[in-house]
Structure 1
Amino acid sequence: MEKFVAGLNRKRMASGVLFCDDEDRVLLVEPSYKPEWEIPGGSVDENEAPWATATRELTEELGMKRDLGRLLVVDYVFPQDAWPEAVMFIFDGGILTQSEVDAMEFVDGEILSAGFYDLAEARKRLAPRLARRVEAALQALRQGTTALCEHGHRVA
């Protein structure tokens, strides 16, 4: 059994949180370590549940404690270049006000700024795969569903 378990495939995972404002704009964060913007979130640590990751990352990145809503997206990401395959999750963070964003504390230095952007503006700032994932999350939020995606493209 140990040999079987040792031979099982390992996948990397990450979790993000979709926040919107009352105008249906999406909260994006500007990382200090790369040019593309992100939604709040990050990599799942060993022995950590994806929803626990999302909650932890909100505290680490934004100084925010907030309960998560439902799962909006599960995205299988193909291996690419040096990156192994992955499973990405997006959870509903609910509605934020501009004053809540203004009160955010970028405590770990990983995030430089945060702001609300409509989908067209978000597409300009996000990596294409994440832009597609965010669009699927917005659709799932409106439809009351969970979107299944492959490399950011919604599947049946």
Structure 2
Amino acid sequence: MDLLPFDEYVRSLPRKRMSAGTLIRDDSDQVLLVEPSYKDHWDIPGGVCEANEPPWRTARRERAEELGIDRPLGPLLVVDYIPDDGTMPEGLAFIFDGGRITAEETAQLELSDPEILSAQLLPIDDAAKRVKPTLARRLRAALTSAQAGETFVICENGHPVTE
């Protein structure tokens, strides 16, 4: 078997997209969603990991850019493997604990990012209706993990992996 030269081998390695977001909730466990200007469904504060940017920095950067909240993140809640769906390549999505927020703080958020039209606290069932189904499942897993104070949940396409 002939081995590839190292630089060719490195170029042949698969690439995965990554995204990171935050679960921000109030004392009654309503979750904070943002309404993006560029897509039909709502989302959690977060976004795509840039080149050479680890997911925890992405989550904190995106939360600060989208909401004006810049404070340390809490623990990792979810790692989700998202398979290739024919439109988007396979990837990994991370959700970190973004902390608690009050209704008053939500009303005073600095939404200076033109990508974000609004932000709203919603019960998980209402939030699940506004986001993509995969994110709804991932968001439920993140909320369950945060409520239990357990270690993070591993998911596949939003479904917790039990094996």
Q: TM-score range by the shorter chain?
A: over 0.9
1:55-94 pair list within 5 angstroms:
55-94=60-99
Distance in 1, matches of 2:46 and 2:130, equals 16
Aligned to 1:148, the other structure's residue is in SS state strand
Extract unaligned runs of 5+ from structure 2. Answer: 1-5
2:138 paired with 1:147: no
Distance in 2, matches of 1:139 and 1:120, equals 13
2:145 aligned partner, one-letter code: A
Shift of 1:39: 0.5
Say which is worse superposed, 83-92 or 104-113, in terms of deviation: 104-113
Distance in 1, matches of 2:49 and 2:59, equals 8
Distance in 2, matches of 1:81 and 1:97, equals 40
2:158 aligned partner, one-letter code: G
1:15 aligned partner, one-letter code: A
Distance in 2, matches of 1:97 and 1:110, equals 23
Extract unaligned runs of 5+ from structure 1. Answer: none
Aligned to 2:64, the other structure's residue is in SS state helix
Shift of 1:81: 2.1
Instruction: Report the counterpart of residue 17 of structure 1 in structure 2.
Output: 22
1:151 aligned partner, one-letter code: N
1:1-156 pair list within 5 angstroms:
1-143=6-148, 144-156=150-162
* Runs of 4+ with >6 A deviation: none
Distance in 1, matches of 2:140 and 2:87, equals 26
Percent identity, aligned pairs only?
Answer: 51
1:153 aligned partner, one-letter code: H
Shift of 1:155: 0.4
Is the radius of gyration larger for structure 1 or structure 2?
Answer: 2
